[in-house]
Structure 1
């Protein structure tokens, strides 16, 4: 019987076919003494199907806090006693943030709002922001504004938004333990609407919400079935005042196995380190992830938490280029 590394080498590396849920569970259970070889296989798969480039993205919140949803990990929910309070940015601030993002070498700038779905006022703000940014900054614009109807997706595409993020967050079977104010299926419907309107689909989630390894494998397989252009990999950063405030951090080895599993599930997808990376992995673990399947990062800060200074992210990327 072939080992999981032999199966992965044949399917993911040689043929660019993602592993199935059962195979991904084996990857997530890889013994410690085989982790280095697993990460090398994931890295070589990334190089073969994505090339050696590392994509950099900046992210900014147009509207922070006051969200009506109850995502148990999120300090932006207005339902929890978290320190985050509602704040909005004006257009000039967004343009300046896009300019600073471009200076890091980033090719992507994502506008985010903490809402269930964009209303007319927010869509008008986004339209103004996109027009102002594109007039002054040479950068691709993506957005993350909650659930979308087909009509709202069309309007965003016509504004010039080329990629839309809406995370599935976790496995379908575990989702009700994380969110109760909407369903996993609603999120999937938004991704269907995004794709139908010709925008690139960006969807990922958070590792360490309390899911089992079986559910983590389920999640990777479900994301692969969505076929996203980009998958942001977040690791839980327990936020004060949220229901998940006391959950433990994901151990480093477990986090790196998840990186490898997601790469072997989606050989040609842009796999991006996002929130919680610096907390869970530190600089050394981030470097290991970039040599273990990751090919994109969010540089600098996130929405409600501090990341590494963008310069340190860029230094790590430069370091792996010469290894």
Structure 2
């Protein structure tokens, strides 16, 4: 063996090189279904642009092998908008910032109508969201009344909720209502969280998610890319999410909101967004990875298709909480063109 060959082999063993990390990921993630470590995710995130097509192709192979071809489609609606007491720096719904979003409640007929419209898009998931630290008795009563009204309307769509941090008793109440999945995003890596939110801790969010999982609800937990985190912190975030073993991870990209501390932040560059999506897939091969807010701004139409071919297997259609998405029909047409079947409601029950 030559000295040069020996040095190359040693370097690959110690820390996979740019092409070596993809070969290692193919054997580890694609063949065995084992997610990448934090060091490996970081190596993926540092891959240069010329390796992006190979990375996306591998992430798509992983998605197809461990999740299958179906795409889960979801619609979301805000039951209580604005006026939140927390200071999440990315959020225009915080009552602490001079953003244009004002507090408002959606009535029960409006909730039923939104659920009906969501079903008409072909979606199988309907998520009821509220901008609160955590639900009070009034909010939980409205959620209960809303779910009852949706069912009375003959709508059997699966219902998820995102209502902030919970107590054990509130978790049990939601289970009794028939809520099958709960969303509570960790938002970013534990080491970066204090720079994003100061009114509550990352650990408080983690505890809610732990109780949700223990109660038998599916855990939906993701975050936002582009909030000033380093590439090392993106890798940290990926493995922290993997440790949680969530059923679903929504991937958002920062939309700089007027009046918030992040209003002047740059939009995530499209190639970095796609690289991050693929890295998350390689960290969580069996998890539902959902395109969420900011994808239209960051990726555009072509990028959305690349993401669907780079590890994504779920999508939110229509509008987001305080931002316009693109028409649901456009996303459904994209899935048809890509020959990706939409998961049927009967398959999710």
Q: Which residue of 2 aligns with 1:151?
A: 169
Measure the CA separation in 2 of the matches of 1:75 and 1:186: 22
CA displacement 1:93-130 (0-9 Å, x = unmatched): 11110011001110000000000000011101000111
Kindly report the root-mean-square deviation, in angstroms, between the aligned alpha carbons of the 2 structures.
Answer: 1.0
- Given the alignment, which residue of 18, 25, 36 partners 1:19? 36
Q: Which residue of 2 aligns with 1:280?
A: 298
Does residue 179 of structure 1 match 2:192?
A: no
Q: After TM superposition, list the pairs within 5 Å mapping 1:63-82 onto structure 2.
A: 63-82=80-99
- Given the alignment, which residue of 15, 31, 36 partners 2:53? 36
Q: Which residue of 1 aligns with 2:344?
A: none
Measure the CA separation in 2 of the matches of 1:321 and 1:13: 22
CA displacement 1:161-219 (0-9 Å, x = unmatched): 00000000000000000000000000000001101111000000000000000000000
1:6 positional shift: 1.0
Q: After TM superposition, list the pairs within 5 Å mapping 1:67-106 onto structure 2.
A: 67-106=84-123
Q: Tell me which stretches of 4 or more aligned residues in structure 1 moved more than 2 Å.
A: none
Measure the CA separation in 1 of the matches of 2:274 and 2:156: 34
TM-score, length-scaled by structure 2 = 0.91
Measure the CA separation in 2 of the matches of 1:267 and 1:247: 31
CA displacement 1:209-242 (0-9 Å, x = unmatched): 0000000000000000000000000000000000
Q: Which residue of 2 aligns with 1:54?
A: 71
Measure the CA separation in 1 of the matches of 2:131 and 2:257: 16
Measure the CA separation in 2 of the matches of 1:8 and 1:98: 40
Measure the CA separation in 2 of the matches of 1:205 and 1:283: 22
Q: Which residue of 2 aligns with 1:166?
A: 184
Measure the CA separation in 2 of the matches of 1:57 and 1:163: 12
Measure the CA separation in 1 of the matches of 2:304 and 2:46: 20
- List runs of 5+ in structure 2 lacking aligned partners: 1-11, 341-349
Aligned to 2:318, the other structure's residue is in SS state coil
Measure the CA separation in 2 of the matches of 1:132 and 1:160: 13
Does residue 131 of structure 1 match 2:113?
A: no
Q: Which residue of 1 aligns with 2:324?
A: 306
Q: Which residue of 1 aligns with 2:259?
A: 241
Aligned to 2:315, the other structure's residue is in SS state strand
- Given the alignment, which residue of 303, 309, 312 partners 1:294? 312
Q: Which residue of 1 aligns with 2:9?
A: none
Q: After TM superposition, list the pairs within 5 Å mapping 1:174-253 onto structure 2.
A: 174-253=192-271
Does residue 260 of structure 1 match 2:278?
A: yes
Name the count of aligned residue pairs. 323
Measure the CA separation in 1 of the matches of 2:335 and 2:195: 36
TM-score, length-scaled by structure 1 = 0.99
Structure possessing the higher radius of gyration over alpha carbons: 2
Aligned to 1:256, the other structure's residue is in SS state helix
Aligned to 1:192, the other structure's residue is in SS state helix
Measure the CA separation in 1 of the matches of 2:223 and 2:243: 15
1:134 positional shift: 2.2
